[in-house]
């Protein structure tokens, strides 16, 4: 996730996402391989601050096969103030590969704003299906991230309480790692949100070893960097970024944190 004036030098952050999607050494370690890939599609939303216009691009091709597409999209906003979410998908146990399961997702919230969401981890799709009163066929064909976005948009006016509900009710089956942007109808600067939570108790109950959980702690760590721009990124992406040293990044706590960044500053809420 990116916010600020996009310049040519910032391409490195997005190129790092491409490299991480093609050669994810941390997730590879968890899977018992040297590398793992995120080959199940990719998407991006680019929001223009001056006009509140936005574009969304989604593809079922791997992001590392469409590097030039991403570069052209970003070149169109050179020297412009923008907010961006880009995501490369690994479908995991949910084998459905359709464009509606490619992140990011967008919905109108109950606060009359628009939220854009990308999610990593696993959530109970059945919970959201019941909460949203959806037909089983719809639930079967949408990933958990899409269902989560539909649900959280309806709960936006009580965001903190809704997220705590997911933690308390054990709806998170691995991690609730989320990047979100809230867009307003007025020329208010979009607000950035990031959520970090790893359900270690659930993972242990499913027989995950201490070593596997240790690797998942590394894999699901969310890093952020604030200077003239704001960047949020996963651990593998950060490893491919060379212009920002590791000690310049800060991390969210995996025990459950929600961070928001707006014109009013930064706010961190504990979810447990």
Which pLDDT tens digit goes with each residue over 103-119? 999 999 999 999 999 99
The total of structural domains in the chain comes to 1
Which pLDDT tens digit goes with each residue over 162-181? 999 999 999 999 999 999 99
Q: Give the pLDDT confidence score for residue 186 in this predicted structure.
A: 84
Q: CA 125, CA 181: separation in Å to the nearest integer?
A: 22
| Count of alpha carbons within 13 angstroms of residue 119, beta-carbon side | 26
Q: Give the pLDDT confidence score for residue 94 in this predicted structure.
A: 65
Which pLDDT tens digit goes with each residue over 230-261? 999 999 999 999 999 989 999 999 999 999 99
Q: Give the pLDDT confidence score for residue 81 in this predicted structure.
A: 97
**CATH at 222:** 3.60.20.10
Query: Does pTM top 0.95 for this prediction?
Result: yes
Q: Give the pLDDT confidence score for residue 233 in this predicted structure.
A: 98
Q: Write out residues in the chain with pLDDT < 70, as ranges.
A: 94
Instruction: Give the residue numbers spanning the domain of 157.
Output: 2-270
């Amino acid at each position: 996730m990116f916010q600020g004036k996009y310049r040519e030098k910032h391409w490195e952050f997005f190129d790092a996402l491409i490299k991480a999607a093609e050669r994810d050494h941390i997730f590879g370690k968890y899977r018992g391989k040297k590398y793992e890939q995120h080959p199940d599609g990719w998407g991006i939303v680019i929001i223009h601050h001056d006009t509140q216009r936005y574009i969304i691009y989604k593809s079922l091709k791997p992001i590392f096969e469409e590097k030039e597409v991403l570069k052209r999209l970003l070149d169109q906003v050179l020297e412009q103030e923008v907010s961006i979410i880009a995501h490369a998908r690994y479908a995991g146990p949910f084998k459905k590969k359709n464009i509606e399961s490619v992140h990011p997702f967008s919905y109108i919230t109950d606060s009359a704003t628009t939220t854009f969401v990308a999610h990593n981890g696993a959530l109970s799709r059945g919970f959201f299906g019941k909460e949203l009163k959806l037909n089983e066929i719809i639930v079967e064909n949408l990933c958990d991230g899409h269902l989560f976005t539909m649900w959280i948009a309806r709960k936006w006016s009580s965001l903190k309480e809704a997220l705590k509900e997911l933690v308390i009710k054990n709806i998170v089956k691995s991690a609730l790692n989320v990047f979100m942007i809230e867009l307003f109808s007025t020329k208010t600067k979009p607000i950035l949100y990031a959520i970090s939570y790893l359900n270690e108790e659930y993972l242990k109950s499913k027989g995950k070893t201490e070593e596997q959980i240790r690797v998942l702690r590394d894999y699901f760590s969310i890093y952020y960097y604030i200077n003239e721009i704001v960047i949020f990124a996963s651990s593998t992406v950060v490893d491919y970024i060379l212009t920002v040293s590791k000690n310049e990044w800060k991390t969210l706590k995996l025990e459950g944190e929600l961070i928001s960044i707006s014109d009013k500053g930064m706010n961190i809420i504990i979810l447990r």
